[in-house]
Structure 1
Amino acid sequence: MASRIAAAIKELASPATRRFGVSKPPQTPTDDAAAASFAALTHKLDYLDTADIKRVREAYRFADEAHLGQFRASGEPYITHPIAVAGLCADWKLDAQAIMAALMHDAMEDCGVTKVELIEKFGAATADLVDGLTKLDKLQFSTREESQAESFRKMLLAMARDVRVILVKLADRLHNMRTMEAMAAAKRTRIARETLDIYAPIAHRLGLNQTYRELQELSFQHLRPWRHSALSKAVQKARGYRRDIVDRIQKDVEKAFSQSKLQSQVFGREKTLFSIYRKMREKHLTFAQVNDIFGFRIVVQTLPECYLALGVLHQLYKPLPGRFKDYIAIPKANGYQSLHTTLVSPLGTAVEFQIRTEQMHAVAEKGIAAHWLYKSKGGAAQVAEAQRLGAMWLQSLIDIQDETRDASEFLEHVKIDLFPDAVYVFTPKSKILALPRGATPVDFAYAIHSDVGDHCVAAKVNGEPVALRTELRSGDVVEIVSAPGAKPNPAWLNFVRTGRARSKIRHYLKTMEQEESQELGSKMLAQALRSEGLAMPGDDSSESAAVWQALTRWSGNRSREELLTDIGLGRKIATIVAKRLARLLADHGTKPDAVTLSMGRYSHDDGEHVQGMVLIDGAEGASVQMAPCCRPIPGDAIVGYLGRGEGLVVHTAECGVGKRLYERDSERWMNVEWAEQPTRSFETGVTVLVKNGKGVLAEVASAVAAAEADITHIDMGDEPASQTTELRLVLSVRDRLHLADVMRTLKRSARVLRVTRVKP
């Protein structure tokens, strides 16, 4: 379990060594002494004090010695890679511990260095950072995917404790992506795909837009080299064609700001090749139809000047209606703040402008890393907001981890949460929440609190009742209606969009399934044991504890609860376990009791093995299912099939599907009966042949309602209308008598020609 909780995607937490070929030096190694020396890094560390630089130098010497004799696939000394990673971290002005971890991030994995050794030399904080960057290669996994998922989870959980882990990891991945030419094509493709799916979205989620764009661009270049080359040439041509108009717009804008005496910096901005490619694919456009390849960024000094600059631009060129976005008042989920407006240029083309302050620009480009970049310049509110939003997402990783024990499932939830687009909705008390595009009221409920999500029964959007699967839009005011007895619905998994909601729902369903299956398994084992003339041993004595311990050891289970759950899910047969338990009890001196034997004995007519009776009242939950082939209801003669891992499946005695299962696997069948007073209604199918005409469907529905039943599903088929139509209904009824009453009520209608119950 410790290794499970340590998780991180094998490649995702993978330092560069194995991926990028720590190998024997080629016949003519490139010994670039300058690149491999500490001097290549020193000039970037001027923001650190003398003591910190000394500690970084010690880490460099340690890493240099550890990697001595190792070379990259390109032939360069391996130490050039940690130095480059440390240089990228220094560009973000990370602290000395992060720079030291960047220099030694591969030492534990490839050089046999232990965490204890790192703690002794550099302290626990630096050792923890290096450990968080080390993938789980020493453990055995059944598949590569499982290993990747576990290592990724390890890295993300380390990142949730200390965000510097992912910053160093992103720097590591960025340098590796820049230097992949010497690798095999298949490996380049795999790493590029992983970067595009996981690392680039994480960079975006943490606001590292500059890193995000470069990772996307490099991944695109390696995944689609031909398309990347073609688009690059097209953009280069367009750059030449449009240079005049871009220059003209820039001059007009600079002149307008000069006249309004507003100090500003005007930068031209070009869309990345990958974003152009993605827009062409998503909107089915040709390159000529993508008209926002070029845009402009306006950087001003204060927040009020952002809105003044917006007014200057709108006086200069006409804005396009509906294309203005205020990310200053409502920041993006990753802390990004800017004003976005699209204007019509002198040639009639649409041009996007982004307006922001210098600190907003720092957060936009470096995201959560801007905390270190600007920490010495006084508390910037924008930087603090980026930290807060980043911390919220990191905390959500911990929440998902608490509900998810399977590493692959954890990775799936994290991928869901890495959506770059977001909608901004309000609680009734005007608190703003950012959710992925396509999120529903159920996602909103779980974002508020897991208890709100678990007990959600309905929702109102802008004061109007809506279905729970309704997609939310920016600006919606969402109110959740909850009920104390409500439970999550498995159908919610079909439409929720956030990893938090998905993991919470799955965790609840798994917990309920386990509890219900354990209760059913206990009931089945007690009844099977009664057939042996014995009562279920308790757990209040050392003798009983010894019996249960011996039984779980024989069954291969870790605990009594797990064994009972397996019986309830059909993974183990109650009668077989009962016979073994009877033998163990006999070894401890417990003999069959005649009264218990007479109470529990129930034989089949053909003399097969005996089994106790299980009563079905509808309160069993997920551990007992009504077979969809025959849809049994109280009053039907029924049998129970203990499916492997499915729990108890109840069929009607005359069901053909059930009979075939019995012939194939007779030992898994058991006797079941309806309880005298079922706790709920049950579904069954009927076909109704009706004369076509106006209002016939309403007439049928009215008849069903008059008989106090519900229609849970209706199917009219796809055949063209004729004089008659066959309606296939699924009705919710109490028992066979109630069903007969519903069918009689339907037959009284003049439009109904025939009513029959559906049988397999």
Structure 2
Amino acid sequence: MPSSHTATPDPKASVTDLAVPAADQVATIKRPRARSKNATAEPEPAAIATGDESAATRHVCVSLASLLDKLQAYLPEADLQRIREAYRFADAAHLGQYRASGEPYISHPVAVAELCADWKLDTQAIMAALLHDTAEDKGITQAELIEHFGSTVADLVDGLTKLDKLQFSNREENQSESFRKMLLAMARDIRVILVKLADRLHNMRTLGAMAASKRVRISRETMDIYAPIAHRLGLNLVYRELQDLGFANSHPNRYAVLSRAVLAARGNRHGLVEKILAAAQAALNEAQVPSQLFGREKTLYSIYRKMRSKHLSFAHIQDIFGFRVLVPDVLDCYRALGVLHSLYKPMPGKFEDYIAIPKANGYQSLHTTLIGPNGNPVEFQIRTEAMHRIAESGVAAHWLYKTPEDKPTPQQAQTNAWLQSLLDIQTENRDWADFLETVKVDLAPDAVYVFTPKSRILALPRGATPVDFAYAIHTNLGDQTVAAKVNNALVPLRTELRSGDVVEIITAPASRPNPSWLSFVRTGRARSKIRHALRTTQQAESVELGRRLLQSALRHEHLDLLTLDDAVWDKLLRWTGFKSRDDLYADIGLGKRVADILAKRVVALVSPQDALSAPLLDTIERLESRATHDAQTSLQLDGSEGISVRYATCCRPIPGDAIIGYLGKGEGLIVHQQDCDIARRLFQKDPDRWIDLSWAEECTRPFETGLSVIVQNTKGVLARVAAAISEHDSDIAHVTMDEDTQQATTELRFVVQVRDRKHLADVLRALRRLQFVVRASRAKNRTAGLGSGNS
């Protein structure tokens, strides 16, 4: 039943407040909806009844006046009317829902919309801000939003909606998947993340009503994900406030103590700040540099972080105050810098030119730290008005979506590239925990600025390596990297880059990513590209290995893979549940299916009369048939199989050894010596997964094996043994020795690379001829799991 509501005007309200139509003050209730599970179940307060109300309820007023004041400055009346309609819809949807503080829930979407209005977001973004919780909390469907407000607004709301309806194993997975969904929407439309940041900022401002445990969890999520995103987009005001609010709620006692200390210091240093401001302004005026000067206080979190990172007490933090200088143009920035450097002495190594080399988020300023009048360091930031707008509002200062026909600004291009890199990461990395951790690393605010040989500047996270640099340039460059030069000197690929380095990548067309790179790369892009390449390579190699294994098993059944017709293949694929032959081959190559069993099934399909007898062939029959298996039907290895074939480190087989292979589930083929003790024990437990192997006549690479060399404990013995190994064309991959050096003899343990058993024998003979060598032999089996191996 329709009802009317009367609101009592605030005597302090402005003319604008009182001029807002009643529809803006109180929504017309289209339909009641059940409270969400998060809503506070409170009875509706009694209404101020009017004459036509038979059963009245009161709806607490949430004014649109402040929001409309901001919007009227840049939106036409027609757009304001659409925003009023979105407000009415949201207010009706949230009827009866309250925040933990006791306020009507609609106050939150209105506050989020006001923050978006401060950034001068367009009509659709403001509507999405008002409607952003209707789908999540109140069950409003996408179709309803499209019907009332159009597909663009509905898509923005959908991008902001969490995945609460899906079931995840834990909260972290939920967080990752929600962020993944928001990321996809953000790449399509940057307004999604801007509204989300406004939403998170208002939630952080009103976090006090939550339970302590919830405050800590939300604060950590904010500082791990949302504050770095704000920084990456250049929204520095939001970034600093989110950090301070997160610090206040996650460490309330530390925040309170530090706040009191800063307050006391503010009083003690007030005179000093005024003195520096007056002196700097006078010097700039005398040099005829038009400028505005502001004193600013560092955020509590930045002070706390400096205390933690440098292990300092608050008393030893000198630069809690800084100064900002705004000038008309870029040339004036450098003129102002010269004036300040003539006024106070600059501290060596404390000057950064972010005008010539902007930060990755588009930030530009000159930073310099000077020795103040009392000997304390004083930081100045010098920038133009335009730089200041970008520094405070970042990507919100010039819209990516507003004028798509225009040429993008450098910041727009950088933001687009960053969004695309995040999309690449989420496309190639389906593990939720690893994805979230990768994104956190990629959002790290610290950066180094390095140069290509053609003087192009790249911003990379602190700790980045030449491999990160290569993948930042292009995926193919990263995949084919074999070496790197930094400042014209060859360096290891794990070398950490520093600002100002000139990096050159050396490539080889046949090179492929090395799994060991994952242990030192820093950027999410590099990590995801390496993993993607390794998975792709493993898939291709697993397909080839699986094909060879099935061919070998079919030959034992007197069949040939090439003679199987399409009808047999169709039946085999239906029986296994695969869509293609390559999928089946890959499963065989990864050890998820046994080729012998599939070969028996093919026999049954080729000879229908044998269909009943084929499944009855048991393990003993297959093992007996293997005993008569000759070299022509066994799988041959030549070392070119790649990562789908690994050589067990417990026995380290080399060409010339009798070998056998284990098809570990999902691990590919693991090669052991036939007399390996570990292989024998595992064969007794799971004989079906073992296949005969043989070596090809010519192998393509050397193989690793172990040496045990017992020597007299004399000076220089290790170097002389290593020299003897190298002289016989064998490379040393690893070496260890006994820690007790007081004994007369010591054991040196090497992992060396040899071509075959004959090559190994040559190396051992050379070692035995050394007079200080007591014994030299091939290392025996050591404790190692079956899964351990090296490709």
Q: Which amino acid aligns with 1:730?
A: V
Alignment match of 1:476 (pick from 473, 481, 501): 501
Alignment match of 1:551 (pick from 551, 556, 575): 575
CA contact (8 A) 1:428 1:478 kept: yes
Residue 148 of structure 1: how far off its partner (Å): 2.3
Alignment of 1:247-326 (within 5 A): 247-326=274-353
Aligned partners of 1:178 and 1:539: how far apart in 2? 69
Alignment of 1:360-371 (within 5 A): 360-371=387-398
The Cα offsets for residues 208-259 of structure 1, whole Å up to 9 and x where unpaired, read as: 1111111111111111111111111111122222222222112211222222
Aligned partners of 1:28 and 1:671: how far apart in 2? 82
Relative distance call for 1:723 and 1:300 in structure 2 (3 A) is: farther
Residue equivalent to 1:698: 719
The answer to which of 508-517 and 60-69 deviates more is 60-69
Relative distance call for 1:72 and 1:452 in structure 2 (3 A) is: same
Relative distance call for 1:465 and 1:419 in structure 2 (3 A) is: same
Alignment of 1:258-657 (within 5 A): 258-372=285-399, 384-536=409-561, 541=566, 543-553=567-577, 557=578, 559-587=580-608, 603=624, 613-657=634-678
Alignment match of 2:71 (pick from 37, 45, 59): 45
Alignment of 1:88-103 (within 5 A): 88-103=115-130
Residue 614 of structure 1: how far off its partner (Å): 1.9
Unaligned residue ranges in structure 2 (runs of 5+): 1-33, 48-56, 615-620, 782-791
Alignment match of 1:668 (pick from 682, 689, 693): 689
Q: Which amino acid aligns with 1:174?
A: L
The answer to which of 615-624 and 472-481 deviates more is 615-624
The answer to which of 281-290 and 570-579 deviates more is 570-579
The answer to which of 164-173 and 274-283 deviates more is 274-283
Residue equivalent to 2:25: none
The Cα offsets for residues 107-133 of structure 1, whole Å up to 9 and x where unpaired, read as: 222222222222232222222111111
Residue 324 of structure 1: how far off its partner (Å): 0.5
Aligned partners of 2:470 and 2:562: how far apart in 1? 44
Mapped pair 1:236 → 2:253:
no
The answer to which of 719-728 and 83-92 deviates more is 719-728
Alignment match of 1:184 (pick from 211, 224, 230): 211
Relative distance call for 1:65 and 1:605 in structure 2 (3 A) is: closer
Residue 66 of structure 1: how far off its partner (Å): 1.8
CA contact (8 A) 1:207 1:386 kept: no
Unaligned residue ranges in structure 1 (runs of 5+): 1-16, 594-599
Q: Secondary structure at the match of 2:749?
A: strand
Aligned partners of 2:164 and 2:143: how far apart in 1? 18
Relative distance call for 1:28 and 1:692 in structure 2 (3 A) is: farther
The answer to which of 383-392 and 618-627 deviates more is 383-392
CA contact (8 A) 2:712 2:774 kept: yes
Aligned partners of 2:608 and 2:562: how far apart in 1? 14
Residue equivalent to 2:618: none
Relative distance call for 1:588 and 1:87 in structure 2 (3 A) is: farther
Residue 752 of structure 1: how far off its partner (Å): 2.9
Q: Which has the higher contact order (CA 8 A, sep 6+)?
A: 1
CA contact (8 A) 1:264 1:299 kept: yes
CA contact (8 A) 1:228 1:273 kept: yes
Residue 498 of structure 1: how far off its partner (Å): 0.7
Residue equivalent to 1:683: 704
The answer to which of 399-408 and 196-205 deviates more is 399-408
CA contact (8 A) 1:306 1:356 kept: yes
Relative distance call for 1:316 and 1:620 in structure 2 (3 A) is: same
Aligned partners of 2:725 and 2:643: how far apart in 1? 28
Q: Which amino acid aligns with 1:668?
A: R
CA contact (8 A) 1:206 1:390 kept: yes
Relative distance call for 1:536 and 1:373 in structure 2 (3 A) is: closer
Q: Which amino acid aligns with 1:393?
A: W
Aligned-residue Cα RMSD (Å) equals 2.9
Count how many residue pairs are aligned between Structure 1 and Structure 2: 729
Relative distance call for 1:532 and 1:124 in structure 2 (3 A) is: same
Residue equivalent to 2:26: none
CA contact (8 A) 1:531 1:611 kept: no
CA contact (8 A) 1:538 1:544 kept: no
Aligned partners of 1:751 and 1:237: how far apart in 2? 74
CA contact (8 A) 2:604 2:611 kept: no
Q: Which amino acid aligns with 1:192?
A: S
Aligned partners of 1:716 and 1:355: how far apart in 2? 59
Residue equivalent to 1:215: 242
The Cα offsets for residues 529-551 of structure 1, whole Å up to 9 and x where unpaired, read as: 3334444377863x235313322
The Cα offsets for residues 79-110 of structure 1, whole Å up to 9 and x where unpaired, read as: 11111111000000111111111111112222
Relative distance call for 1:421 and 1:588 in structure 2 (3 A) is: farther
The answer to which of 64-73 and 728-737 deviates more is 64-73
The answer to which of 20-29 and 687-696 deviates more is 20-29
Alignment of 1:124-163 (within 5 A): 124-163=151-190
Alignment of 1:113-124 (within 5 A): 113-124=140-151
Q: Secondary structure at the match of 1:138?
A: coil
CA contact (8 A) 1:327 1:338 kept: yes
Q: Secondary structure at the match of 1:727?
A: strand
The Cα offsets for residues 288-323 of structure 1, whole Å up to 9 and x where unpaired, read as: 122211111111111111111111111111110111
Q: Which amino acid aligns with 1:523?
A: R
Q: Secondary structure at the match of 1:744?
A: helix
Alignment match of 1:36 (pick from 48, 62, 77): 62
The Cα offsets for residues 479-525 of structure 1, whole Å up to 9 and x where unpaired, read as: 11101111100000010001111000000001111111122122222
The answer to which of 515-524 and 318-327 deviates more is 515-524
Mapped pair 1:202 → 2:229:
yes
Residue 179 of structure 1: how far off its partner (Å): 1.0
CA contact (8 A) 1:456 1:488 kept: yes
Aligned partners of 2:771 and 2:62: how far apart in 1? 92
Q: Which amino acid aligns with 1:106?
A: D
Aligned partners of 1:166 and 1:374: how far apart in 2? 13
Residue equivalent to 2:53: none
CA contact (8 A) 2:35 2:97 kept: no
- The TM-score, its normalising length taken from structure 2, stands at 0.87
Residue 462 of structure 1: how far off its partner (Å): 0.8
Larger radius of gyration: 2
Identity %: 61
Relative distance call for 1:33 and 1:302 in structure 2 (3 A) is: farther
Aligned partners of 2:58 and 2:187: how far apart in 1? 37
Relative distance call for 1:570 and 1:477 in structure 2 (3 A) is: same
CA contact (8 A) 1:20 1:180 kept: no
Q: Which amino acid aligns with 1:673?
A: S
Residue equivalent to 1:8: none
Residue 751 of structure 1: how far off its partner (Å): 3.5
Residue equivalent to 1:78: 105
Residue equivalent to 1:596: none
The Cα offsets for residues 725-758 of structure 1, whole Å up to 9 and x where unpaired, read as: 4322111100111001011122223343321211
The Cα offsets for residues 328-375 of structure 1, whole Å up to 9 and x where unpaired, read as: 000011111110111111111111111111111111111101115999
Aligned partners of 1:628 and 1:181: how far apart in 2? 57
Aligned partners of 1:606 and 1:373: how far apart in 2? 70
Residue 260 of structure 1: how far off its partner (Å): 1.9
